[in-house]
Homo-oligomer: A and B are copies of this chain.
Amino acid sequence: MSPRAPTHEPDDLKKAGLKATLPRLKILRILEDSADHHLTAEDVYRQLLSAGEDVGLATVYRVLTQFEAAGLVMRHNFEGGRAVFEINHGTHHDHMVCLECGRVFEFVDDAIEERQRRVAEKAGFTVDAHQLYMYGVCEGMKKHSKCSKK
Protein backbone atom coordinates (compact mmCIF):
# COMPACT_ATOMS: atom_id res chain seq x y z
CA MET A 1 0.00 0.00 0.00
CA SER A 2 2.37 2.66 -1.20
CA PRO A 3 0.94 6.16 -1.21
CA ARG A 4 1.33 6.26 -4.99
CA ALA A 5 1.82 3.39 -7.38
CA PRO A 6 5.09 3.51 -9.32
CA THR A 7 3.30 3.30 -12.67
CA HIS A 8 0.87 5.79 -14.13
CA GLU A 9 -2.27 4.59 -15.81
CA PRO A 10 -5.05 6.12 -17.87
CA ASP A 11 -6.86 6.51 -14.57
CA ASP A 12 -4.33 9.05 -13.38
CA LEU A 13 -5.13 11.18 -16.37
CA LYS A 14 -8.86 10.85 -16.00
CA LYS A 15 -8.63 11.76 -12.34
CA ALA A 16 -6.81 14.88 -13.43
CA GLY A 17 -9.65 15.69 -15.81
CA LEU A 18 -7.62 14.92 -18.92
CA LYS A 19 -8.58 12.53 -21.71
CA ALA A 20 -6.34 9.49 -21.83
CA THR A 21 -4.91 10.17 -25.26
CA LEU A 22 -1.95 8.40 -26.76
CA PRO A 23 0.49 11.31 -26.59
CA ARG A 24 -0.35 11.94 -22.94
CA LEU A 25 0.11 8.31 -21.98
CA LYS A 26 3.40 8.09 -23.86
CA ILE A 27 4.73 11.25 -22.24
CA LEU A 28 3.67 10.10 -18.80
CA ARG A 29 5.43 6.82 -19.40
CA ILE A 30 8.63 8.53 -20.50
CA LEU A 31 8.68 10.76 -17.44
CA GLU A 32 8.10 7.71 -15.31
CA ASP A 33 10.68 5.42 -16.88
CA SER A 34 13.54 7.82 -17.56
CA ALA A 35 16.75 6.97 -15.73
CA ASP A 36 17.32 10.42 -14.30
CA HIS A 37 13.83 11.77 -13.71
CA HIS A 38 14.56 15.30 -14.82
CA LEU A 39 13.86 15.98 -18.47
CA THR A 40 13.49 19.04 -20.65
CA ALA A 41 10.61 19.24 -23.10
CA GLU A 42 13.15 18.62 -25.83
CA ASP A 43 14.38 15.49 -24.04
CA VAL A 44 10.86 14.11 -23.92
CA TYR A 45 10.33 15.02 -27.56
CA ARG A 46 13.49 13.26 -28.66
CA GLN A 47 12.56 10.13 -26.75
CA LEU A 48 9.20 10.13 -28.48
CA LEU A 49 10.85 10.43 -31.87
CA SER A 50 13.32 7.67 -31.02
CA ALA A 51 10.37 5.47 -30.13
CA GLY A 52 8.93 6.16 -33.55
CA GLU A 53 6.02 8.17 -32.21
CA ASP A 54 4.53 10.94 -34.27
CA VAL A 55 4.13 13.70 -31.69
CA GLY A 56 4.83 17.39 -32.12
CA LEU A 57 7.02 19.42 -29.82
CA ALA A 58 4.13 21.80 -29.29
CA THR A 59 2.08 18.94 -27.91
CA VAL A 60 4.88 18.00 -25.57
CA TYR A 61 4.88 21.52 -24.17
CA ARG A 62 1.10 21.60 -23.94
CA VAL A 63 0.92 18.25 -22.20
CA LEU A 64 3.70 19.05 -19.77
CA THR A 65 2.02 22.32 -18.87
CA GLN A 66 -1.29 20.55 -18.33
CA PHE A 67 0.42 17.90 -16.22
CA GLU A 68 1.98 20.61 -14.13
CA ALA A 69 -1.38 22.30 -13.61
CA ALA A 70 -2.86 18.93 -12.65
CA GLY A 71 -0.07 18.30 -10.17
CA LEU A 72 1.23 15.27 -12.04
CA VAL A 73 4.62 16.79 -12.74
CA MET A 74 6.81 19.53 -11.32
CA ARG A 75 8.63 22.13 -13.35
CA HIS A 76 12.07 23.41 -12.35
CA ASN A 77 13.92 26.44 -13.61
CA PHE A 78 17.49 25.33 -13.22
CA GLU A 79 20.34 27.37 -14.63
CA GLY A 80 20.69 27.22 -18.37
CA GLY A 81 17.52 28.65 -19.79
CA ARG A 82 15.39 25.60 -20.34
CA ALA A 83 12.89 24.19 -17.87
CA VAL A 84 13.10 20.61 -16.65
CA PHE A 85 10.18 18.44 -15.63
CA GLU A 86 9.92 15.53 -13.24
CA ILE A 87 7.13 13.21 -12.20
CA ASN A 88 5.50 14.27 -8.96
CA HIS A 89 5.56 11.27 -6.69
CA GLY A 90 3.94 13.25 -3.93
CA THR A 91 6.94 13.62 -1.66
CA HIS A 92 8.68 16.97 -1.61
CA HIS A 93 12.42 16.91 -2.07
CA ASP A 94 15.23 19.27 -2.89
CA HIS A 95 17.89 19.05 -5.60
CA MET A 96 21.63 18.97 -6.13
CA VAL A 97 22.55 19.63 -9.76
CA CYS A 98 25.98 18.51 -10.97
CA LEU A 99 27.38 21.14 -13.30
CA GLU A 100 29.86 18.61 -14.72
CA CYS A 101 27.63 15.71 -15.69
CA GLY A 102 24.22 17.34 -15.59
CA ARG A 103 22.75 14.74 -13.28
CA VAL A 104 20.31 15.72 -10.59
CA PHE A 105 20.38 14.27 -7.08
CA GLU A 106 17.47 14.50 -4.72
CA PHE A 107 17.48 14.85 -0.97
CA VAL A 108 15.22 15.67 1.92
CA ASP A 109 16.17 17.26 5.21
CA ASP A 110 13.44 17.63 7.77
CA ALA A 111 15.34 20.23 9.73
CA ILE A 112 15.59 22.44 6.65
CA GLU A 113 11.89 22.02 5.94
CA GLU A 114 11.03 22.90 9.51
CA ARG A 115 13.20 26.00 9.53
CA GLN A 116 11.67 27.16 6.27
CA ARG A 117 8.21 26.91 7.75
CA ARG A 118 9.37 28.89 10.73
CA VAL A 119 11.02 31.62 8.68
CA ALA A 120 7.92 32.04 6.53
CA GLU A 121 5.63 32.10 9.50
CA LYS A 122 7.73 34.69 11.25
CA ALA A 123 7.58 36.88 8.14
CA GLY A 124 3.83 36.42 7.76
CA PHE A 125 4.45 34.76 4.42
CA THR A 126 2.14 32.01 3.12
CA VAL A 127 4.21 29.52 1.16
CA ASP A 128 2.71 27.99 -1.98
CA ALA A 129 5.84 26.24 -3.15
CA HIS A 130 9.47 26.20 -2.26
CA GLN A 131 12.58 24.80 -3.82
CA LEU A 132 16.18 24.49 -2.80
CA TYR A 133 18.85 23.98 -5.43
CA MET A 134 22.53 23.32 -4.86
CA TYR A 135 24.79 23.56 -7.89
CA GLY A 136 28.22 21.98 -7.83
CA VAL A 137 30.19 18.86 -8.61
CA CYS A 138 28.98 15.40 -7.69
CA GLU A 139 31.13 12.72 -6.12
CA GLY A 140 31.61 10.73 -9.31
CA MET A 141 32.88 13.77 -11.19
CA LYS A 142 35.51 14.68 -8.64
CA LYS A 143 37.38 11.37 -8.41
CA HIS A 144 37.98 10.82 -12.10
CA SER A 145 36.51 12.43 -15.14
CA LYS A 146 35.07 9.26 -16.56
CA CYS A 147 31.46 10.31 -16.58
CA SER A 148 30.50 10.81 -20.18
CA LYS A 149 27.10 12.42 -20.02
CA LYS A 150 27.20 15.58 -22.07
Interface residues of A (CB under 8 A from B): 77-79, 96, 98-99, 105, 107, 109, 111-112, 115-116, 119-120, 123-139, 142
Contacts and interface: CB of A to CB of B under 8 A. Distances in A.
Nearest to A139: B124
Q: Copies of this chain, how many? A: 2
A133 B130 contact: yes
Contact of A115 (B112, B130, B138): B112
B139 A120 contact: no
B105 A132 contact: no
Contacts of A105: 123, 125
A99 to B, nearest CB: 7
Contact of A79 (B77, B116, B139): B77
Given A124-B138, A132-B133, 6 more contacts: A77-B77, A107-B123, A112-B119, A125-B136, A127-B136, A128-B135
